[in-house]
Amino acid sequence: MEIRIGKSAKTCETCGREFVHEESLHSLAHFGEEGLLRQDYCASCWSGDIAKKAFSAWTTRFYDPKVAEQQPPEVFSPLRQLFYDASESEERTTLAMAYLAAQLLKRQKVFRQIKESDESDGEVKITLYADRIGNRLIEVRDPNFTFAEMDAARVALLGRLRAMEDGGAEPASPAAADDGTPPDPPEETPQPSPEFSGGVAAETGA
């Protein structure tokens, strides 16, 4: 299992001009010697020919954290914070929790699914998401989670979200969140199924 989170560049790949907060730009991902790489272009430098050999291409907006600090606190949701915290783990149940969080963030339109590869694209199934708030590219590679891992992750996710929303201490681990009585899932929580697979990984600069 592997997940990579790539931030957008601060300047245009072609002209080198610095992007400004909320500026519309064009992004693409392509395979290089170090794996999947991201490049960002301003509207003036972009053309359809650039994207012809890319694995995926999409439009987005540049995110400047210095400007974003002045935004209202509701854009920084506990679920989004939990996703990024869990994605740094190497423990499979915690990564499964990050996977479930990503699914919920997609439903909330915080994450936008850009592309999902099929078997013809390579040996490993890859799903790309864009974080609409932080303008990060999230690469999810299929780790084949088990039903038990997904069920434990669901319980842990609900426990941590409730602790964060109540302002209390978070459970130390997914196991600590399971007291033997799983809470009732909210309406938007995806239920685990045998075919679930996915995962989330390390942050890499683009």
Q: What is the reported pLDDT for 66?
A: 75
Please say whether the beta carbons of 197 and 143 come within 8 A. Answer: yes
pLDDT mean over 66-77: 60
Structure tokens at 32: 């290089």
Residue 120 CA to residue 206 CA, distance in Å, equals 26
How far is the CA of 193 from the CAs of 25, 73, 143, 167, in angstroms?
37, 34, 15, 31
Are 166 and 56 in contact by the 8 Å Cβ rule? The answer is: no
Please determine, for residue 16, whether its predicted confidence score (pLDDT) is greater than 90. Answer: yes
pLDDT of residue 143: 67
Task: Spell out where the chain has E strands.
Answer: 3-7, 24-32, 35-41, 56-61, 111-116, 126-131, 136-141, 202-204
What was the pLDDT predicted at 121? 52
* Percent of the chain at pLDDT exceeding 70: 68
First to last CA, the chain: 20
Residue 193 has pLDDT above 60, yes or no: no
Q: What pLDDT, on a 0 to 100 scale, did the predictor assign at position 184?
A: 43
The residues facing 37 across adjacent strands are 30
Confidence of residue 128 (pLDDT cuts 50, 70, 90): confident
Q: Over the stretch 38-53, which tens digit does the pLDDT of each residue have?
A: 999 999 999 989 988 8
**Nearest-CA neighbor of 162 among 171, 174, 152, 173?**
171
Using a 10 angstrom Cβ sphere, with 0-12 exposed, 13-18 middle and 19 or more buried, the burial of residue 65 is exposed
pTM for the structure as a whole: 0.49
What's the whole-number average pLDDT of the chain? 75
Residue 180's pLDDT band (cuts 50, 70, 90): very low
Predicted confidence at residue 123, as pLDDT, reads 55
